[in-house]
Structure 1
Amino acid sequence: MASKERIQRLKDETRANILDASLQIVKEEGWQALSMRKIADVIEYTAPIIYEYFANKEAILLELTRRGFLILSKDLQEARAKHRLPAKQLEAMWLAYWNFAFANKELYQVMFGVEMNCCCDLVATLPESESPYTQFSEVIIELMDIENPTKDMVCLKYYTFWSVVHGLISINILRRGYSDEMNRQVLTDAICGVIKSIEQEKVSV
């Protein structure tokens, strides 16, 4: 049993090393430089060994995407836990989303296809990819404070937030943004504006 556990541990470590090496290459040379042979060179394995763990480069991209969503989900949970009021939670969560995107730029790119081809159909099959929407939706429903909001109502609010935040992130990843101060101001104004509109709708109902 101990031998089986040791073998499994070594397999897990090798798999993690392959993913770490992939991310290292991307950070240094960009996504276009990533290849199975280059990964093998970095970790000093032969290319066939890499294929024992991942069928192709797309499988590595998908696993890095999963890793990204796991990190993002954890960041969102921590941001939400720091506040009690839904409005404050949403503001903190979207700021955490923004911070994640720039602290993990390469992961964000592969998660959402910014400056690269995204395995979007495959990403949609990852359970982890649903977590950010689920977490934000829970808080949006609390903020709406109406009886039985429809899925479309919640979805509309989420995509209003996401379109603005993701759009601003993408602009800056493409190096077409302005100063950090202006970015923060635009981000904060946009988030608070959507929050205020939801609160006003609640009052008018």
Structure 2
Amino acid sequence: MASKERIQRLKDETRANILDASLQIVKEEGWQSLSMRKIADVIEYTAPIIYEYFANKEAILLELTRKGYLILARDLHEARGKHRLPAKQLEAMWLAYWNFAFDNKELYQLMFGVEMNCCCDLVETLPESESPYTQFSEVIVDLMDIENPTKDMICLKYYTFWSVVHGLISINILRRGYSDEMNRQVLKDAISGIIRSIERERQKV
């Protein structure tokens, strides 16, 4: 049993090393430079060994995408847990989303196809990709505070938030933004504005 556990541990470590090497290459040279051969060179293995763990480069991209969503889900959960009121939770969660995008720029590019081709059809098969929407939707429903909101109503509010935040992130990843201070102010103003519009709608009901 101990031998089997050791073998499995070595396999897990090799798999993690492949993913770490992939991300290292991308951070240094960009996504367009990633190849199975380069990964093998970095970890000093032969290319055939890489294929024992991942069928192709797309499989590596998908696993890195999964990793990105897991990190993002954790960050959102932690941000939400620091506040009690839905408005404060949403503000904290979208700021955490923003921070994730720039702390993990390469993963964000991969997850949403910023400056690169996204494996979008495959990403939709990842259960992890649903977590951000699920977490945000739960808080949006709390903020709306109306009886039986429809899926379309919730989606509209979520995509209003997401379009603004993702758009601003993309602008800055493309290096067309302004100062950090101004970007954060624009972000906070946009989030606050959408939150206030939801609160006004709630008061009319």
- For normalisation by structure 1, the TM-score amounts to 1.00
Unaligned runs of 5+ in 2: none
Q: CA deviation at 1:84?
A: 0.2
Q: CA deviation at 1:154?
A: 0.3
Hey, what's the Cα distance between the residues in 1 that align with 2:39 and 2:30? 13
Q: Secondary structure at the match of 1:146?
A: coil
What letter is aligned with 1:5? Answer: E
Match of 1:138 in 2: 138
Match of 1:78 in 2: 78
Cα deviation, 1:123-169, whole Å, max 9, x if unaligned, reads 00000000000000000000000000000000000000000000000
Hey, what's the Cα distance between the residues in 2 that align with 1:134 and 1:89? 14
Q: CA deviation at 1:28?
A: 0.4
Hey, what's the Cα distance between the residues in 2 that align with 1:54 and 1:40? 12
Match of 2:34 in 1: 34
Cα deviation, 1:146-194, whole Å, max 9, x if unaligned, reads 0000000000000000000000000000001011111011100100000
Q: Secondary structure at the match of 1:143?
A: helix
Hey, what's the Cα distance between the residues in 2 that align with 1:133 and 1:6? 38
What letter is aligned with 1:164? Answer: V
Hey, what's the Cα distance between the residues in 2 that align with 1:116 and 1:204? 43
Percent of residue pairs identical? 90
Hey, what's the Cα distance between the residues in 2 that align with 1:84 and 1:68? 26
Match of 2:25 in 1: 25
Matches within 5 A, 1:123-134: 123-134=123-134
Matched, 1:116 2:116: yes
Matches within 5 A, 1:86-97: 86-97=86-97
Corresponding residue pairs, total: 205
What letter is aligned with 1:197? Answer: S
Hey, what's the Cα distance between the residues in 2 that align with 1:102 and 1:3? 41
Match of 2:49 in 1: 49
Hey, what's the Cα distance between the residues in 1 that align with 2:99 and 2:50? 32
Q: CA deviation at 1:2?
A: 1.1
Hey, what's the Cα distance between the residues in 1 that align with 2:118 and 2:26? 15
Match of 2:157 in 1: 157
Unaligned runs of 5+ in 1: none
Dislocated runs of 4+, deviation >3 Å: none
Q: Secondary structure at the match of 1:11?
A: helix
Hey, what's the Cα distance between the residues in 1 that align with 2:88 and 2:25? 38
Q: CA deviation at 1:30?
A: 0.5
Q: Secondary structure at the match of 1:71?
A: helix
What letter is aligned with 2:189? Answer: D
- For normalisation by structure 2, the TM-score amounts to 1.00
